[in-house]
């Protein structure tokens, strides 16, 4: 076989990606604390195909398709918190450390190797941010979310900490493949809050975990097997918190060029109020290295268990920020607002993946379908039955606790009676 034939065959089996990223300060915040990463792990390069808010009226240049190399690629969004002096530092540290850990060392050998390295990279970023915050009082309480998608052949891993999001658009269906680690999402999963009530919930900015707020972090690792034509969206809550999933889906279907998709989504978020920084990455995957989508394909939130995992523990507990971690009196208003985001620690449990389908043509109503719950299929599946809420207790049986309480009350009553005599 000639060299030209081999090259043509390799090209036909390749996976090509057209990707673009954009970040915007929004309409309310004074500073942009978001950061993002687009990197080719084979070439060890960080892409310059990005746009920021320095010229909001400039049309971004179209991104050219790139071939995914043997070591894959990574796409990450980090939403910093702690005020301008700290939030931007935390998110920048996160993307830098994740990139360094993934490009360094020996080439990854297989999916497990990439998954393990991805988790360790995010964990290392959390430790580094935590140590930086302890060493510098002006940065106490800083942290960042992290949604990091790493691709090797058709397998896309998503490492999640916080409430930034990853979606996959397949055909006309948009599916969230990450899980928000937030108070409002936990209440929705527990049935204590509806989707409609969540939009006006007073504490909808409280997240349960972030990099840098504790010396350990539990990374939620999931995966997706990509298909021809899939589009990945990674975004901060400046987008997902301002416009609904059906509107995001409509934009992604009608605006196919990733650079334009990023621009339109950012504009929509700002038109809706732009209450937070807005960061978006859009990547469209094509090529002979991906199978065509089929009706039976499983697309949703799917946990990935590493072979050497020592525990099947799936709950996530965040360490609450103490008073000395909160901003001092001379902190900016922006830092004081951010301090609310990690003041509650809760237990998280399983969910069903929200998905947005195309409208059903058989009905008279042509409006987009409302989000619905689509259960994930093995391997593996997590739900509220298999993963009950874990309430911390001292380990005593309820009967013993009850008898102890009654005994104490009786003793108090006898003592009081004796004193009255």
pLDDT digits (tens, 9 = 90+) for 185-194: 889 888 888 8
Same domain, 48 and 180: yes
More confident residue, 323 or 411: 411
Q: Is the pLDDT of residue 342 over 60?
A: no
304, 115 contact by CB (below 8 A): yes
Instruction: Give the percent of the chain with pLDDT over 70.
Output: 69
Residue 2, domain member (yes or no)? no
For 163-196, the pLDDT digits (tens) are 999 999 999 999 999 999 999 888 988 888 888 7
Q: Is the pLDDT of residue 242 over 70?
A: yes
Same domain, 196 and 258: yes
For residue 99 the two structure tokens come to 């990139």
Report field, pTM of the whole predicted structure over 0.95: no
Q: Is the pLDDT of residue 265 over 90?
A: yes
Same domain, 58 and 109: yes
| Whole-number Å distance between alpha carbons of 119 and 126 | 11
Residue 5, domain member (yes or no)? no
More confident residue, 43 or 393: 43
73, 151 contact by CB (below 8 A): yes
| Whole-number Å distance between alpha carbons of 3 and 197 | 62
Residue 330, domain member (yes or no)? yes
Full residue range of the structural domain in which residue 262 is found: 10-374
For 203-226, the pLDDT digits (tens) are 877 899 999 999 899 999 999 999
Query: Which among 392, 385, 386, 373 is positioned nearest to 179, based on CA atoms?
Result: 373
Sorting pLDDT into bands at 50, 70 and 90, what band is 307?
Answer: confident
For residue 345 the two structure tokens come to 């620690």
74 contacts: CB under 8 Å, gap ≥ 6: 37, 38, 39, 41, 98, 99, 102, 148, 149, 150, 151
Average pLDDT over residues 246-250: 97
Lowest-confidence range among 225-229, 280-284, 396-400?
Answer: 396-400
209, 217 contact by CB (below 8 A): yes
Lowest-confidence range among 25-34, 148-157, 323-332?
Answer: 323-332
| Whole-number Å distance between alpha carbons of 89 and 98 | 14
Q: Provide Rg for the chain, Cα atoms.
A: 24
Q: Is the pLDDT of residue 49 over 70?
A: no
Same domain, 418 and 319: no
Average pLDDT over residues 45-69: 62
Q: What is the CATH number of the domain that holds 125?
A: 3.60.40.10
């Amino acid at each position: 076989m000639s060299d030209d034939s081999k090259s043509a065959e390799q090209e036909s089996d390749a996976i090509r990606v057209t990707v673009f990223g954009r970040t915007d300060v929004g309409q309310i915040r004074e500073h942009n604390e978001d950061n993002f990463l687009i990197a080719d792990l084979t070439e060890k390069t960080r892409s310059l195909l990005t746009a920021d808010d320095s010229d909001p009226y400039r049309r971004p240049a179209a991104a050219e398709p790139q071939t995914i190399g043997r070591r894959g690629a990574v796409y990450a969004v980090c939403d910093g918190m702690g005020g301008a002096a700290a939030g931007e530092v935390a998110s920048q540290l996160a993307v830098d450390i994740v990139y360094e850990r993934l490009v360094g060392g020996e080439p990854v050998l297989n999916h497990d190797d990439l998954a393990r390295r991805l988790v360790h990279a995010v964990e290392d970023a959390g430790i580094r941010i935590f140590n930086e915050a302890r060493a510098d009082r002006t940065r106490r309480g800083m942290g960042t979310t992290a949604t990091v998608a790493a691709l090797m052949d058709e397998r896309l891993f998503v490492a999640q900490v916080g409430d930034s999001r990853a979606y996959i658009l397949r055909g006309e269906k948009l599916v969230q493949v990450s899980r928000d680690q937030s108070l409002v999402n936990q209440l929705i999963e527990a049935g204590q809050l509806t989707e409609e009530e969540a939009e006006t919930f007073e504490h909808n900015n409280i997240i349960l975990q972030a990099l840098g707020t504790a010396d350990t972090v539990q990374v939620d690792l999931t995966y997706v097997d990509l298909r021809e034509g899939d589009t990945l969206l990674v975004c901060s809550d400046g987008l997902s918190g301002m416009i609904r999933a059906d509107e995001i889906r409509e934009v992604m279907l009608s605006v196919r060029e990733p650079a334009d998709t990023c621009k339109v989504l950012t504009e929509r978020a700002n038109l809706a109020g732009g209450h937070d920084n807005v960061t978006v990455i859009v990547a469209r995957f094509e090529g002979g290295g991906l199978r065509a989508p089929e009706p039976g394909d499983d697309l949703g939130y799917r946990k990935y268990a590493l072979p050497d995992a020592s525990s099947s523990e799936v709950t996530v507990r965040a360490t609450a920020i103490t008073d000395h971690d909160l901003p001092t009196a001379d902190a900016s208003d922006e830092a004081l607002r951010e301090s609310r985001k990690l003041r509650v620690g809760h237990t998280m449990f399983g969910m069903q993946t929200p998905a947005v389908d195309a409208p059903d043509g058989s009905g008279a109503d042509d409006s987009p379908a409302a989000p619905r719950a689509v259960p994930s299929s093995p391997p593996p599946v997590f739900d509220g039955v298999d993963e009950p809420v874990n309430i911390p207790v001292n380990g005593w049986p309820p009967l013993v606790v009850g008898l102890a309480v009654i005994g104490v009350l009786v003793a108090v009553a006898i003592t009081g009676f004796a004193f009255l005599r």
